[in-house]
A and B are shown apart, each in its own frame.
Chain A
């Protein structure tokens, strides 16, 4: 039976100072693989809709007719599946998270491509 068996650890942490990060002054660094938020390089997208079909939560909406790609940020579970299936590899997983919010956050991306307009394509 030991008593005061915790004291060594406690004295050590007195000397060590806080083990936590002083948020928001200092932010915890992310890793290369940290799954934060899906980003799209819209000019590469061919609106095939594969990401929309495979997404387990239905967060992505692709509209081929008016060339829009949109994502419901709070529905997305950062599984990275869309990223893997995209044939053009235009999706990317960003390390930064979407900031918290009260309502739903939908990000719309529209490509400015106009058919027949050679300059913008």
Chain B
């Protein structure tokens, strides 16, 4: 047994897009324990429901996270719609699905780029982000924003996508698929990349289940849990199977995310093919009264939204459980026994989004 050393990792570290602190207990080069500390960027967004009325809060909910912004807005709107018993038009459900899947694509491409950066493959990082840019352009063209879309509202969506633009999206995605295959091939088969991911940070199926892992973290360990199968928005009308891998290592998690990008392309194309005509929103009158729980499958895993309202225009309580929060225990488990050089890539492997964890 060597000497024990404690190395502080974060909150500022080149590999971390957002601040989280870990005290790494090392024995020589091996990590024996990791102690996390979060709370650097708490913004008090949940408390803000008492100051902003429930309509205005849609714009706050979107800003919980910059990457899953659309899905946070959608989760919040779905919760309020369930309380107020609002049935949104079918076209709005399809539009929400299209934007949600585009968000999944852009989130996973962002992550792939960041992970390439973490294992030191700069050009791969840049090329992944070059592809992601096309998704952001679609967002800007259809919603007016590149990161925050402000397009979801209680009762539907605020903007329609014309049939021509839908065709254009379909064409862009078809072209993109070829380039995606070329880039993702590097992640899945290049020997130097595999050397950094294969067999690193293995999370067994039992451990993933016991620690409550969600999203690609759980799916890569063989847990078939994807909330989209519940059929919220238009997912019930589209054909897809949750993506599962069984190895539970960093490579399996990369593979799940890559397959989800292609699945998202497929889902968007399916949605474009069968999107019905009609209105995109219904008028909302009155204030919500009651409480409700909604779950949504975000790129990083399942997110939960809880709203309690008592008939006034200000909500009593709003609570979000974000996927990164659920994945932190699993992260600590995978860090045990790894070497210090693998810590950055393992932290990235859960796709950490700290600002949404702390809200």
Residues of A within 8 A of B52 (CB): 56
Given contact pairs A56-B52, A56-B56, A81-B56, A5 touches B185 in the complex (Cβ within 8 A):
yes
Determine if B189 and A1 form an interchain contact, defined as CB atoms under 8 angstroms apart: yes
> How many of B's residues come within 8 Å of A, CB to CB?
31
Determine if A33 and B142 form an interchain contact, defined as CB atoms under 8 angstroms apart: yes
Which of A7-15, A42-50, A66-74, A102-110 is the interface stretch? A7-15
Q: Which residues of chain B in 48-81 are interfacial with respect to chain A, using CB atoms and an 8 Å cutoff?
A: 52, 55-57, 59-60, 63
Residues of A within 8 A of B158 (CB): 80, 84
Q: Which residues of chain A in 1-30 are interfacial with respect to chain B, using CB atoms and an 8 Å cutoff?
A: 1-3, 5-6, 8-10, 13, 19, 30
Determine if A35 and B150 form an interchain contact, defined as CB atoms under 8 angstroms apart: yes
Please tell me which one of the listed residues B55, B142, B145 contacts residue A78 in the complex, with CB atoms under 8 A apart. Answer: B145
Interface residue B159 (Cβ < 8 Å from any Cβ of A): yes
> How many of A's residues come within 8 Å of B, CB to CB?
24
Determine if A33 and B141 form an interchain contact, defined as CB atoms under 8 angstroms apart: yes
Apart from the given pairs A2-B185, A3-B192, A30-B140, 14 other A-B contacts in the complex at a CB distance below 8 Å: A1-B189, A6-B121, A6-B124, A8-B182, A9-B183, A31-B141, A33-B140, A33-B142, A34-B140, A34-B144, A35-B150, A56-B52, A56-B56, A79-B59
Given contact pairs A3-B190, A56-B56, A77-B59, A10 touches B144 in the complex (Cβ within 8 A):
no
**What residues of chain B have their CB less than 8 Å away from a CB belonging to chain A?**
52, 55-57, 59-60, 63, 121, 123-124, 127, 130, 140-145, 148, 150, 158-159, 182-183, 185-186, 189-192, 194
Query: What are 21 A-B contacts defined by CB distance under 8 Å?
Result: A2-B190, A3-B190, A6-B123, A6-B186, A8-B182, A9-B123, A9-B182, A9-B186, A13-B127, A19-B130, A30-B140, A33-B140, A33-B142, A33-B143, A34-B140, A54-B56, A56-B52, A56-B57, A56-B60, A79-B59, A81-B56
Interface residue A40 (Cβ < 8 Å from any Cβ of B): no
Determine if A56 and B186 form an interchain contact, defined as CB atoms under 8 angstroms apart: no
Chain B interface main SS type: helix
Of the candidates A34, A54, A93, the one having the most CB atoms from chain B within 10 angstroms of its own CB is A34
CA distance A56 to B148 in the complex (A): 15
Q: Which residue of B lies closest to A36 (CB)?
A: B144
Residues of A within 8 A of B121 (CB): 6
Least Cβ–Cβ distance between A52 and chain B, in angstroms:
12
Residues of B within 8 A of A54 (CB): 55-56
In the complex, the number of residue pairs spanning A and B with C-beta atoms less than 8 Å apart equals 66
CA distance A110 to B235 in the complex (A): 50
CA distance A77 to B194 in the complex (A): 42
CA distance A6 to B63 in the complex (A): 36
The 7 closest A-B pairs by CB, nearest first: A33-B144, A35-B144, A56-B56, A1-B191, A2-B189, A5-B190, A31-B141
Determine if B186 and A5 form an interchain contact, defined as CB atoms under 8 angstroms apart: yes
Residues of A within 8 A of B192 (CB): 3
Q: Which residue of B lies closest to A30 (CB)?
A: B140
Determine if A56 and B59 form an interchain contact, defined as CB atoms under 8 angstroms apart: yes
CA distance A9 to B140 in the complex (A): 27
Least Cβ–Cβ distance between A33 and chain B, in angstroms:
4
Residues of A within 8 A of B150 (CB): 35, 78-81
Residues of B within 8 A of A81 (CB): 56, 59, 150
Residues of A within 8 A of B123 (CB): 6, 9-10
Least Cβ–Cβ distance between A37 and chain B, in angstroms:
12
CA distance A88 to B56 in the complex (A): 21
Given contact pairs A3-B191, A78-B150, A31 touches B130 in the complex (Cβ within 8 A):
no
Determine if A31 and B189 form an interchain contact, defined as CB atoms under 8 angstroms apart: no
Residues of A within 8 A of B63 (CB): 77
CA distance A8 to B130 in the complex (A): 16
Residues of A within 8 A of B183 (CB): 9
Residues of B within 8 A of A10 (CB): 123
CA distance A84 to B153 in the complex (A): 12
